[in-house]
């Protein structure tokens, strides 16, 4: 049993929990809790840590049979944990290694539905978007480097496991990524106050992408100009905009409704 927070393994996990640069550099991230641990694909699971209390009431082999769990004290687990009420199980996972080129090649002759994000800062919003994208049948999410890290523990928890199934691809050149989508026969839409047509009256094709911007400032002018079509989400009262995750959900589920 590991009983010291100075242990190198514990220090490494703690770094992954708190440091996005370390996660990107090592291609590893941490998820915590029994429910999300059950969702981890076999090829993404690296390590599993459990407390003595958890081990006395549960069989980790039912959750992570591919690795032997490392036993840690409750005090050490609290140091590793990012939650207020730790459940006693935490896993280190490998990040999904997929590029925009991989995704476009994989779906070159197929329908393609994407969400493209610029500057999303709230972990709960991003987690909700990932979860909603899976529910609405979307194929992936493209995000700029100003968007919060999808492997942030707060984001991963709010995805409820969708993180393992929904590709989220980061780019340091979002305008170039949008151009690449358009050159791959993807029609790009943006919900915008200048949109002349309601999102509900617009007919969508088989290869589409929706642009969604920062919670406070929305889409930049540069990215807005990249859209093929601006659509409007009608609002009553004195509202000018909706929560970014809500707007994304409305757009994505509207397409799903049209498909059916």
From first to last of its 260 residues, the chain has per-residue pLDDT tens of 999 999 999 999 999 999 999 999 999 999 999 999 999 999 999 999 999 999 889 887 888 888 999 999 999 999 999 988 899 999 999 998 899 999 999 999 999 999 999 999 999 999 999 999 999 999 999 999 999 999 999 999 999 899 999 999 999 999 999 999 999 999 999 988 777 889 999 999 999 999 999 988 889 999 999 999 999 888 777 766 689 999 999 999 999 876 65
Q: Angle at Cα 220 formed by Cα 167 and Cα 242, nearest 5°?
A: 75
* Residue 43, number of CB atoms within 10 A of its CB: 9
Report the half-sphere exposure of 83 (CA within 13 A, side-chain side): 17
Nearest-10 crossing angle of helices 123-135, 244-259:
0
Using CA atoms of 69, 18, 117, 34 in order, give the dihedral in degrees to the nearest 10. Answer: 30
Say if residues 132 and 245 touch (Cβ distance below 8 Å).
yes
Compute the distance between CA of residue 208 and CA of residue 111 in angstroms, rounded to an integer: 8
Domain with CATH 3.40.1280.10 in the chain: 100-259
pTM exceeds 0.75, yes or no: yes
CATH number for domain 100-259, candidates 2.60.40.1840, 3.40.1280.10, 3.90.1150.10, 3.90.1280.10: 3.40.1280.10
Tallying the residues shown for the chain, one arrives at: 260
Question: 8-94: what CATH class?
Answer: alpha beta
What stretch(es) of the chain map to CATH 3.30.1330.30? 8-94
């Amino acid at each position: 049993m590991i009983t010291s927070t100075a242990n190198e393994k514990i220090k490494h996990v703690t770094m992954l929990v708190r440091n996005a640069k370390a996660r990107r550099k090592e291609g590893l991230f941490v998820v915590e809790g029994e429910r999300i641990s059950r969702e981890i694909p076999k090829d993404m699971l690296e390590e599993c840590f459990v407390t003595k209390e958890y081990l006395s009431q549960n069989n980790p082999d039912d959750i992570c049979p591919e690795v032997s769990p490392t036993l840690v004290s409750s005090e050490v687990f609290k140091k590793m944990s990012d939650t207020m009420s730790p459940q006693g199980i935490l896993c280190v996972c490998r990040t999904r290694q997929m590029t925009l080129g991989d995704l476009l090649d994989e779906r070159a002759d197929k329908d393609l539905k994407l969400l493209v994000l610029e500057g999303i800062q709230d972990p709960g919003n991003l987690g909700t978007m990932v979860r909603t994208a899976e529910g609405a049948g979307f194929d992936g999410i493209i995000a700029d480097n100003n968007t919060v890290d999808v492997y942030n523990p707060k984001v991963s928890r709010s995805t409820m496991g969708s993180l393992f199934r929904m590709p989220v691809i980061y780019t340091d050149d979002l305008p170039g990524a949008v151009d690449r989508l358009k050159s791959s026969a993807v029609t790009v839409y943006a919900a915008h106050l200048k949109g002349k047509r309601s999102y509900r009256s617009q007919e969508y094709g088989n290869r589409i992408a929706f642009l969604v911007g920062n919670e406070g400032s929305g889409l930049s002018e540069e990215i807005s100009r990249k859209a093929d079509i601006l659509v409007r989400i009608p609002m009553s009262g004195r509202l000018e905009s909706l929560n970014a995750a809500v707007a994304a959900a409305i757009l994505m589920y509207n397409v799903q409704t049209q498909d059916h």
